[in-house]
Amino acid sequence: MANQDGMWDTAKALETSSASSAADAMISDADLIERAREARQSAHAPYSKFQVGAALVSSEGRVYTGCNIENATYSLTVCAERVAIFKAASEGALRIARIALIAEGDEPVTPCGCCRQMIWEFGDDNTVVVMCTLSGRVKSLSIAALFPHPFDSSFLA
């Protein structure tokens, strides 16, 4: 059950299927978090030391992972979520059912604004962002809740 902030506790997040199709429902939130945890091991974060892993499941049920990749110029740094999204999109997976991210901290880390816009681009109202700490604390929110006023194609018409 979501609390008044719209967030779920760990047990509920892991037991609740946030999937939007039969194909992506084959991947549990726990599995997706584990894939993100593995991807985090490849993080290139020599400057911030803040290692992040991400894993998304596409509407076809395929998993794509990413880690943050920093650069000495700082501004070229790319977040783990966008690495996973770019990998998926470059292979033709254009719909995100769920995306998990994991990082160290007392509270589950939320996607930055840039990544929220990117998740929105390839997601829909049912797309869920599963945020997790290394110790296993989980919060899940829809991208619609995390990013309520996106810039989308309707402005381009």
What is the binding site for Zn ion (CB under 5 A)? 79, 112, 115
Which of 112/134 has CB closer to Zn ion?
112
With beta carbons less than 8 A apart as the criterion, state whether 96 and 58 touch: yes
Q: Which of 84, 98, 85, 80 is nearest to 44 (CA)?
A: 80
Six-digit token string for 92:
């033709």
Rounded least distance, CB 48 to Zn ion, Å: 12
Is 121 in the active site?
no
Taking CB atoms, the residue at the shortest distance from Zn ion is 79
Q: 29-40 vs 80-90: helix axis angle to the nearest 10?
A: 110
Rounded least distance, CB 22 to Zn ion, Å: 30
Which of 25/109 has CB closer to Zn ion?
109
Rounded least distance, CB 33 to Zn ion, Å: 18
Which of 19/132 has CB closer to Zn ion?
132
SS3 36: helix
| Cβ partners under 8 Å of residue 58, min gap 6 | 24, 64, 88, 93, 94, 95, 96, 97
Rounded least distance, CB 72 to Zn ion, Å: 19
Choosing from 34, 60, 70, 81, the catalytic residue is 81
Q: Which residues are catalytic?
A: 81
